[in-house]
């Protein structure tokens, strides 16, 4: 067992995480360049300098914001190179600016008032998983921003593991590659990732939630934009002439299956998710994401949206509705199921540090989804945070310690 749980390493891990989350790095959809926001360069540069100061070799930060570094092999054997990857952007679903993390030591199982001024609370009645962490140190928001544990917890765990391995040469291992990406939260995190340069035989994203999560299945995913052209006429003489694009947007939304949304599905069930709606009489737009673990069902979802647009154009006139569908990523299972030794290594590592692996399908995706199709098999392991993408997000320090121990144990298990 490593000494990661000692006060010295707990403090290192905590300090590192707190520093990362206070650096604003929200990504932004609809931007063609990578990274999508200039602010992401602040944390990319910080991590780059940090890796150099720790003594990793061949540390680089490329023109697209991808940070890479390596821990050299310390044995003569020719072992595979394993990689660990996390993303440094935070979700645009909620504010990631001016993050003010709060630390709750020896959590007692009660409700947490995160903001005295507003009364904003993290309640056990709404989030019963809190009671799984009684006696632990919790890191929360102040109720005004997200926290950023997705995925800055993963970054802190990977960098802390790297530091630990560099100063503990008695732990024998092959070459280790680590990488940090922008724009994962908007589905572009792996788009310009240089797999050949990274040089790993396989990798793990450290981007999951609860302790023990180990995932090699994820959604097939697409983004959909519906654009609607209305016809603006003075309301006093609009009968038979006006075409209200805003109302058409509402009608289209109502045409989607009401029981196939994120709030009505679970497990392997897919969904249509309206993420944004805007409009006026003259024009309107709806943005969706569509998800399904089954590729055939995913293709059927895309076809259903296209068919619905066609029906509306028959009803209201040619080209009133326009649809754009973009595939974002696919289920990594197809690229990993013939390489299950990668999963076995992670399972063995979790057992070694006293964790039971919880193999489950991701109701989402990670950079590993695309990377697996780019030639880098890349399942996902837990980072420890919960309730991502909003003010209820929190992470137990003890979960981050366990994730760090798992990374080190994976390195030790490669033969």
Predicted confidence (pLDDT) per residue in 281-309, tens digit? 999 999 999 999 999 999 999 999 999 99
Give me the pLDDT at residue 300, please: 98
- Does the pLDDT value for residue 2 go beyond 80? no
Pair of tokens at residue 288: 């969706």
Give me the pLDDT at residue 391, please: 97
Give me the pLDDT at residue 292, please: 96
* Average pLDDT value for residue range 185-200: 95
* Average pLDDT value for residue range 101-107: 98
Residue of 50, 89, 260, 292 marked catalytic = 89
- Does the pLDDT value for residue 1 go beyond 70? no
CA distance 202 to 227: 41
Query: CATH homologous superfamily for 7-218+331-413?
Result: Zn peptidases (3.40.630.10)
* Average pLDDT value for residue range 265-274: 95
Pair of tokens at residue 137: 């140190």
The torsion angle over the Cα atoms of residues 410, 411, 414 and 415, rounded to 10 degrees, is -150
pLDDT tier at 77 (50, 70, 90 boundaries)? confident
Give me the pLDDT at residue 378, please: 96
* Average pLDDT value for residue range 86-97: 96
CA-angle at 402, arms to 397 and 408, nearest 5°: 130
CA distance 57 to 51: 9
Predicted confidence (pLDDT) per residue in 155-179, tens digit? 999 999 999 999 999 999 999 999 9
Give me the pLDDT at residue 328, please: 85
Give me the pLDDT at residue 142, please: 96
Predicted confidence (pLDDT) per residue in 380-402, tens digit? 999 999 999 999 999 999 999 99
Taking all residues of the chain, what is their mean pLDDT, rounded to a whole number? 95
Residue 253 burial class via C-beta count within 10 angstroms: exposed 0-12, middle 13-18, buried 19 and up: middle
Catalytic, 184? Answer yes
Give me the pLDDT at residue 134, please: 98
Residue of 184, 292, 367, 393 marked catalytic = 184
pLDDT tier at 36 (50, 70, 90 boundaries)? very high
Half-sphere exposure of residue 262, counting CA atoms within 13 Å on the CB side? 10
Domain 220-329 sits in CATH at 3.30.70.360
- Does the pLDDT value for residue 365 go beyond 80? no
Give me the pLDDT at residue 294, please: 94
Residue identified by tokens 């929360």 is 140
Cis peptide before 35 (omega within 30 of 0): yes
According to DSSP, the residues that pair with 106 across neighbouring strands are none
The torsion angle over the Cα atoms of residues 229, 233, 239 and 242, rounded to 10 degrees, is 0
Domain boundaries, the chain: 7-218+331-413, 220-329
Look at strands 394-396 and 321-329 and give their pairing.
unpaired
pTM of the model: 0.88
* Average pLDDT value for residue range 265-277: 95
Catalytic, 89? Answer yes
The torsion angle over the Cα atoms of residues 332, 275, 145 and 163, rounded to 10 degrees, is 10
Nearby residues of 322 by Cβ (< 8 Å), 6 or more positions away: 226, 227, 228, 229, 309
pLDDT tier at 366 (50, 70, 90 boundaries)? confident
Predicted confidence (pLDDT) per residue in 120-135, tens digit? 999 999 999 999 999 9
Give me the pLDDT at residue 30, please: 84
Please state, in angstroms and as integers, the Cα–Cα distance from residue 44 to each residue in 47, 59, 222, 329, 331, following that order. Answer: 5, 12, 27, 24, 28
Are 8 and 15 contacting, i.e. CB atoms less than 8 angstroms apart? no
Exposure string over 179-197, b if 16+ CB within 10 A, otherwise e: bbbbbbbbbbbbebbebee
Number of residues that make up the chain = 415
CA distance 292 to 219: 5
């Amino acid at each position: 067992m490593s000494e990661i749980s000692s006060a010295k390493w707990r403090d290192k891990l905590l300090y590192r995480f707190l520093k990362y989350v206070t650096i604003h790095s929200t990504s932004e959809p609809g931007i063609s360049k990578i990274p999508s926001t200039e602010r992401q360069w602040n944390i990319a540069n910080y991590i780059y300098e940090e890796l150099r100061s720790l003594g990793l070799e061949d540390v680089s930060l490329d023109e697209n914001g991808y940070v890479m570094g390596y821990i050299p092999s310390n044995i003569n054997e020719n072992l595979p190179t394993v990689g660990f990857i996390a993303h440094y952007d935070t979700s645009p679903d909620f504010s990631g600016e001016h993050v003010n993390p709060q630390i709750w030591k020896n959590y007692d199982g009660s409700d947490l008032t995160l903001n005295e001024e507003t009364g904003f609370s993290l309640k056990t009645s709404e989030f019963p998983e809190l009671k799984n962490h009684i006696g632990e140190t919790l890191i929360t928001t102040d109720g005004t921003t997200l926290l950023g544990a997705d995925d800055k917890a993963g970054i802190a765990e990977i960098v802390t593991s790297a530091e630990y391995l560099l100063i503990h040469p008695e732990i024998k291992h092959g070459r280790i590659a680590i990488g940090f990406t922008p724009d994962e939260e908007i589905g572009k995190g792996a788009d310009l990732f240089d797999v050949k340069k990274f040089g790993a035989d396989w990798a793990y994203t450290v981007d999951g939630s609860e302790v023990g999560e180990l995932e090699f299945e994820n959604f097939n995913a697409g983004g959909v934009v519906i654009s609607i052209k209305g016809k603006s006429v003075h309301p006093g003489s609009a009968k038979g002439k006006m075409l209200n694009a805003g109302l058409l947007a509402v009608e289209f939304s109502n045409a989607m299956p009401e029981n196939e949304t994120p709030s009505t599905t679970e497990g392997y069930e897919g969904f249509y998710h309206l993420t944004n709606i805007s409009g006026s009489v003259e024009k309107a737009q709806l943005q969706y994401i569509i998800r399904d673990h089954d590729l055939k069902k995913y293709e059927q979802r895309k076809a259903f949206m296209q068919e619905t647009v066609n029906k509306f154009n028959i009803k209201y006139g040619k080209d009133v509705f326009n649809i754009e569908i973009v595939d974002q990523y696919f289920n990594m299972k197809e690229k990993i199921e013939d390489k299950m030794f990668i999963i076995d290594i992670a399972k063995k590592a979790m057992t070694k540090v006293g964790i039971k692996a919880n193999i489950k399908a991701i109701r989402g995706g990670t950079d590993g989804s695309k990377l697996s199709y780019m030639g880098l098999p890349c399942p996902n392991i837990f980072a420890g945070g919960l309730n991502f993408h909003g003010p209820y997000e929190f992470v137990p320090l003890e979960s981050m310690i366990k994730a760090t121990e798992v990374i080190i144990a994976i390195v030790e298990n490669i033969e």
